[in-house]
Structure 1
Amino acid sequence: MSSVLSAESLRFQWPGAKAPCIDIERLDIAAGEAVFLHGPSGCGKSTLLSLLAGVLVAQQGRATLLGHDWAALSGARRDRLRVAHVGYIFQQFNLLPYLSVLDNVLLPCRFSARRMAQAMRDGTAQAQAELLLAQMGLDSSLWRRQALQLSVGQQQRVAAARALIGHPEVVIADEPTSALDEDRREAFLDVLLTACKTNRSALVFVSHDQRIAERFARHVLLPEINRAASGEPA
């Protein structure tokens, strides 16, 4: 089975740091695979997600998406590749506060012809955005509101709908259930996991919440593969 995401001899060190925070020999994630990534604070989870998505570029080794080495691409090409193929649920959501909920969800389609075409497979892009918002439990009375008018939990679900629109090959989720109560969390996971399975999207899901680990077929404890966090010599 071919990998949609991979890391090989991956090494990253923040400027001014005394040691690397990421030192991973190998990580491969296949199409349609749902991976629960966990570990203590400071072990490099968010940094690894940024490297896999090309938001950061490693100083050594390779991180690839669909065979494309992020480090070999210009910043503009990385941005185009990411928006076309990756849905990213950021820990801080990264919604545009003065845009409406619907316009925030539709943003990937505005920047990627591929995501737009995929979103229109069964109708219009707006129809898919509305369906995703409804599945996330957001009432239609909220869809025209500015994102800044929503609660934190509501914004989190808008960010998830934005990540899923247009059927990206990869969905990356950084603590996406942290602001949800138990019922909302389970409903959120149902939508996310079902959408990724239906579309054969690879899902990399970071969380401290071990209660949801059982929903995932594969678990990766980051300190076990990240020598920078495990204390092993680089």
Structure 2
Amino acid sequence: MNPVLIADVLRFTWPGADAPCIDIDQLEVQAGETVFLHGPSGCGKSTLLSLLAGVLVADSGRVVLLGQDWAAQSAAARDRRRVAHVGYIFQQFNLLPYLSVIDNVLLPCRFSAQRHAQASREGTPRAQAEALLSQMGLDAALWRRPAMTLSVGQQQRVAAARALIGQPELVIADEPTSALDEDRREAFLDVLLSACRTHRSALVFVSHDQRIASRFSRQVLLPGINRAARSEAS
């Protein structure tokens, strides 16, 4: 079985920097695998996630999602492929502030026919959006409110529901539990891991919270695979 995601001989340097921040020989993620990616601040975690999702393109090497190299596609093609196949929980959420909660969750289905079709397998995209919001513990009274009126923790859960709708093959999560208390954090993880398990979505999850590491099928210390982070530390 081919991996969902392959990163080979990956190297990336930010413009103006003297040295690369990513220098990784190989990272593979299989369908249904849940990867807990951790490491100290500044070791390249968010940059790596952007490379894996095709938001950034590596200087050399390749990142292959479902058999296609991000670098071989135009920026517009990468955008289309990302919305069709990747659910991304951004650290800053990236919700559209004046859209309602429910409309934010439905966005991937409006930009991708594939996500719309997959969300429709169990009814309608709206029904799946409502189910995800309920599972995330967001009361129906909030669903029509503008996203900007919700608390940080509530917005974090809306962003997660948006990432999961339409069963993307890859889910990427950048510190998604940072604003949640312990009970909310565990409930959030229950929903996220269950959805990925049910739909065989691969999950790459970045966090500093070692208390939750055991819930994932694999743990990866980024400085252990990223030579650039080891060089920085030394």
**TM-score interval, smaller chain:** over 0.9
State the SS of the aligned residue for 1:131. helix
Structure 2 unmatched ranges of 5 or more: none
Counterpart residue number, 1:185: 185
CA distance in 1, matches of 2:150, 2:72: 39
CA distance in 1, matches of 2:124, 2:60: 42
Q: 2:177 is matched by which residue type in structure 1?
A: T
> CA offsets, 1:118-170, max 9 Å, x none?
00001110000000000000000000000000000000000000000000000
Deviation for aligned residue 1:79: 0.4
Counterpart residue number, 1:84: 84
Counterpart residue number, 2:164: 164
Deviation for aligned residue 1:117: 0.2
Counterpart residue number, 2:53: 53
Counterpart residue number, 1:145: 145
Number of aligned residue pairs: give it: 232
TM-score after normalising by structure 2: 0.98
Counterpart residue number, 1:133: 133
Counterpart residue number, 2:216: 216
- Residue identity (%): 80
Please give the residue correspondences for 1:92-111 in structure 2 after superposition, counting only pairs within 5 Å. 92-111=92-111
State the Cα RMSD in Å. Answer: 0.7
Deviation for aligned residue 1:188: 0.1
Q: 1:103 is matched by which residue type in structure 2?
A: D
TM-score after normalising by structure 1: 0.98
> CA offsets, 1:186-227, max 9 Å, x none?
000000000000000000000000000010120000000000
CA distance in 2, matches of 1:73, 1:124: 31
Please give the residue correspondences for 1:190-209 in structure 2 after superposition, counting only pairs within 5 Å. 190-209=190-209
CA distance in 2, matches of 1:3, 1:227: 23
CA distance in 2, matches of 1:159, 1:68: 26
Displaced runs of 4 or more, over 6 A: none
